[in-house]
A = this chain, B = another copy of it.
Amino acid sequence: MRDEDKPEIRKLPLFRDMSAENFETLMQAAYAHTFPAQLEMIRQGEPADFLHIMMEGTVELFSGWRGRETTMAVVRPVSTFILAACIKDAPYLMSARTVEKSRIIMIPAKDLRATFRLDPEFAMSTITELANCYRSVVRHAKGLKLRTSRERVAAYICRQSRLAGNAASFILPIEKRLLASYLGMTPENFSRAIKALQSDGVAIDGMRIIITDPKALEAIAGPDSLMDGPDGNSEFPGADFPEVPWDAKQREAM
């Protein structure tokens, strides 16, 4: 791996507080790898050998069952994924594939487990990280059970707008079909849901979303800090179930 990656990784909440020595040891055990687009690098059911750190690109976490498939999360830099499986030394519950060419750093699960036995600060960070991951999935599950698909789309738009600093307009950070699957619906249904929201303060132009009437949108979305995350979005540190973050690409597009 490149030396210039280290500061980036070190900034992550998971690695921020551990000792410099242990961090170095962990990094020396790490591999870096660049994957082309559309490559399935993790298959659900296989043993979890590596903690993955996204450095560049986009990765989709998804699950399949009987020919059906659903997107569980979309991961963007800089963040980690599949921490829990590594800890448990258990099979991955999700598969992962690159959406675009991605550079990923892989830390052997064995070294990871050894390290938080060694470093209390790292153990603490891991606890916090896992608690965040857990709460993110609970939120996701709540959304699936308590909101209709139209409401989930509305809520997603609210969240993204807020992540963009309450912007009235933003660019969808990922393909609509991925988003649809993440939100638990078909692409067709997603398409129709957005169209239906046009009478509730949302306009769409290609990948650009424009909120024409925030009040009306919120009336549908009913944003709720217990489902959508608190204002500061501090609950979404980019862990296993991150919201897609506001990034440079979007800023350019505004």
Determine whether A178 belongs to the interface, using a CB cutoff of 8 Å to chain B. Answer: no
Segment touching B, from A128-136, A161-169, A197-205, A210-218: A128-136
Q: Is A116 an interface residue, CB under 8 A from the partner?
A: yes
- Say yes or no for A68: interface residue by CB 8 A criterion: yes
State in angstroms the CA–CA spacing of A132 and B146 once bound together.
24
Q: Which residue of B lies closest to A121 (CB)?
A: B117
Question: Which label, helix, strand, loop or mixed, suits the secondary structure of the A interface?
Answer: helix
Given A63-B226, A65-B147, A134-B142 contact (CB < 8 Å): no
Q: Which of A117-159 contact B (CB under 8 A)?
A: 117, 120, 123-124, 126-128, 130-135, 137-142, 144-147
Per the bound structure, the CA–CA distance linking A45 and B230 in Å amounts to: 11
Contact among B94, B123, B135, B184 for A93, CB-based, below 8 A: B135
**Is the Cβ of B145 less than 8 Å from the Cβ of A88?**
no
Alpha-carbon distance A72/B120, docked complex (angstroms): 32
- Decide yes or no whether A29 CB sits under 8 A from chain B: no
Contact A131 B66 (CB under 8 A): no
Give the interface size class of chain A. Answer: 35 or more
Q: A87-B128, A127-B126, A130-B131 are in contact. Are A65 and B146 (CB under 8 A)?
A: yes
**A105 at interface (Cβ–Cβ under 8 A)?**
no
- Whether a CB of chain B sits under 8 angstroms from the CB of A91 is yes
Quick check: A227 and B65 within 8 Å, CB to CB? Answer: yes
Which residues from chain B contact A130 at a C-beta distance below 8 Å? 84, 127, 130-131, 134
Q: With A84-B131, A226-B93 known to touch, is A72 a contact of B146 (CB < 8 Å)?
A: no
The complex is assembled from copies of this chain, and their number is: 2
Alpha-carbon separation in the docked complex, A45 to B225 (Å): 8
Q: Does A44 contact B (CB under 8 A)?
A: yes
Q: Decide if A224 is an interface residue (CB 8 Å cutoff).
A: yes
How far is A139 from B66 in the complex, measured between Cα atoms in Å?
15
Q: Is A90 an interface residue (CB 8 A)?
A: yes
Q: Which residues of A come within 8 Å of B, CB atoms?
A: 44-45, 63-66, 68, 70, 72, 83-85, 87-88, 90-91, 93-94, 116-117, 120, 123-124, 126-128, 130-135, 137-142, 144-147, 184, 222, 224-227, 235, 240
10 A-B pairs closest in CB distance: A130-B130, A70-B145, A84-B131, A123-B123, A65-B146, A137-B137, A87-B131, A84-B134, A134-B134, A141-B141
